[in-house]
Chain A
């Protein structure tokens, strides 16, 4: 061994929580100046491992070496002192603070909070090409910029090793490319990047080394050019997996959801959704492609009745435009919300109560005016089994589940009431490949049974693979139709930016 000691070395790390072993005998070696990806399903123990490395939780067994020296962290402070920085998946930024205020908070001793700090921020920003302005209010920044502020925050504290927890989950494709550009810039300057993800194509594109974690332990270390995405996925899940292809068409000519001239206005009176007209038939999946913020979220919320709108909506021949959300749901609209933490779940409530949410008037959750606790609990147990929700019990709070398992619970809940139309907004966002495949299967099966689906997704492969028809939304208008059997993700991407405005090849 003549080379430098590895930037990070983990030996035999084991971490137990009451009832579960989150990590067992994890071994990991990260070379200095490389991007090292850690991949695994949701709940495989990636996040716990990173929390251990960042000092948020102490390991029960095992050893951490930073640049050859054994360390023990009792708090993130210790990790920061050793040159480790963490970019959290959910941004830790105060909206009403400037970039400078957010960056210097907690590290005021380094360069003060004034001019000197701003100069330092500008210097770091230029050195790594981050393009961050110290005086901007974070509120005014887009998602990609916020992430760069997070990275800058870590660099400002002198980190040499960066941990990024699922950094691409919230980004659109262009932003992902920019992020990867930034990361390459960082390793060029001799920094080391640890990158947690379950998006395998991205990982193969950017990482120098890949370590796979399955069920809490490291199962393989590979080079990205020696494996295919499919092989990686197999390593992650431990079995073969399906793709999103919808296979043979089940589309009928019976319309189940007819939307005409649907318009949603913002507080300033400008249309956010502008005159949307489309039809979903029984057994048909209609995909909506668009860069986030172009009205797709509002479109879904208007159809489910959470947002005031003009225009007509017909569900199975019945006009439901004036109805409230409760009535629409009872009439057969299912809804997988875009943000499962804000909508869809009560994080502090147990799973069985979450099972009742939104269906509190229907069996098995209700008997007349009363909630049927026994029925709801039994049905929750069924959903947990059928949808493979990994949880110690149905009495744990929803917040204790990983994102993928929360999502499976929501999908299970919505599917259990045989909706005529399912509005699925990002049904597999933040969900690992195993759970993703399961959710796709459920959607496909319900579609065969005659359900219509409105699918909103940022994952273009998912859209193309699952949809029978595709529409592109841009600036609130449905600007183009595309045929999923012929269109490529690239063509779709171009149409999403409003470049053509006319029909894409179909």
Chain B
């Protein structure tokens, strides 16, 4: 409420001020390059080849995809104004129906059935929250409690008591593709040359033996951005999340667009589930989702309710998740160099911007990273396993300062209200 804004109305000043809400391509490329150089340095300084090995990158990609899909699920629902904390439950439905469908009808139909399973979960959430006005959190939690029970029951009647907690092996998977020639980078990667080996490792990790589902999932990010921001349908979905009364006054059926958003949300989470049971692994197992629905939601918040940011968040969390499988104790230990440096840089930056609380907290965390780095040679396994979750906590705490959720997100809406 500054004086200027009120007086400008009288003076008829153009109120528009340029805002750069998105990063330019060159900025993004710079950040990617910076990350590569940083990781290369870590690789050399701490002698930790796995921070950029093709194996780690491939594992990171596979870990990031379900998180990203869960995040996209969160995005679709919350852009329509419904908080979908039931993503976890919809993912669970996806894992089971995906595995079952793949076993019965082959991988592609299985994929579709898994997506449908998630979508049905979304539909249930939509019926509860949109039609009956149930609190979004309560309905979401109910979904997350209900889904494991449902799939356990289905497992039991499908595969008998022996298969109550896991399915038979899924033999037939969606094909994987490789960019021709990329495998020859293997030699380059093994040389351990600064930067060159790292780039080779990253490229090979991203382009060799990639499942078609991974490609589909990655394409869903720009597709979501395009649909939500460039089509009339997307505008309507976003409008019911920003200001349902305004949308209603323009003759939109608000309920319908909320349904669309939440059902698509469930479908995305379902696809994330299918990915876990038929691409990352080849078996449905109870508890396979392991809280990825929630981490996906965190990735979405980190990404400020935007597909691009969400993808970055999912990659970050996926990468931390993947490292624990690749000599995690050493790799995570090595990464502390980079983490500490980033936190200290953030501290300086926030200090200049007079953001004391964030500055001090990141400085403390940065120093702690280095203390940890120098005091031990290996991070205890328990901590390594917790790394993705710690990352989520730290990143969210530091990022929460400038977030802009949809204005009517999570608020109950009644027609004519």
Contact = CB atoms under 8 A, between A and B. Distances in A.
B249 A88 contact: yes
Contacts, number: 110
Contact of B251 (A77, A97, A145): A77
Nearest to B406: A96
Contacts of A153: 250
A101 B235 CA distance: 7
A106 B247 contact: yes
B232 to A, nearest CB: 3
Given A97-B242, A131-B12, A144-B9, 14 more contacts: A76-B251, A80-B251, A94-B242, A94-B247, A95-B243, A104-B235, A105-B246, A112-B232, A113-B231, A113-B235, A136-B16, A142-B8, A172-B6, A293-B1
Interface of A: 75-77, 80, 86, 88, 92-97, 101-102, 104-109, 112-114, 131, 133, 135-137, 140-145, 153, 172, 174-175, 178, 266, 270, 272, 291-294, 297-298, 474-476, 497
Given A292-B6, A294-B6, A133 B14 contact: yes
B3 A145 contact: no
B219 interface: no
Please indicate which of the listed interface residues B8, B232, B245, B404 has the most CB atoms of chain A within 10 Å of its own CB: B232
Contacts of B242: 94-97
12 contacts: A86-B249, A94-B242, A94-B247, A95-B407, A101-B239, A109-B232, A142-B6, A145-B9, A174-B10, A175-B9, A293-B5, A293-B6
B191 interface: no
Contact of A145 (B15, B17, B232): B15
B235 A105 contact: yes
Given A136-B15, A294-B3, A94 B239 contact: yes
Contacts of B16: 133, 135-136, 140
B236 interface: yes
B251 A291 contact: no
Interface residues of B, number: 34
Interface of B: 1-3, 5-10, 12, 14-17, 19, 230-232, 235-236, 238-239, 242-243, 245-247, 249-252, 404, 406-407
A297 B404 CA distance: 26
Contacts of B243: 92-95, 97
A175 to B, nearest CB: 6
Nearest to A294: B3
Contacts of A144: 9
Contact of A172 (B9, B245, B247, B406): B9
Nearest to B232: A108
B9 A96 contact: no
A497 B9 CA distance: 12
A75 B3 CA distance: 41
Contacts of A142: 5-6, 8-9, 15
Nearest to B250: A106
B249 A92 contact: yes
Contacts of A474: 3
A392 to B, nearest CB: 20
Nearest to A86: B249
A497 B6 CA distance: 10
Contacts of B231: 113
Nearest to B21: A137
Contacts of A108: 232, 235-236
A105 B15 contact: no
Given A136-B15, A142-B8, A293 B3 contact: yes
A301 to B, nearest CB: 12
Nearest to A177: B10
Nearest to A99: B16
Nearest to A76: B251
A24 B19 CA distance: 52
Please indicate which of the listed interface residues B3, B8, B19 has the most CB atoms of chain A within 10 Å of its own CB: B3
Nearest to B248: A92
A443 to B, nearest CB: 27
Contacts of B7: 291, 497
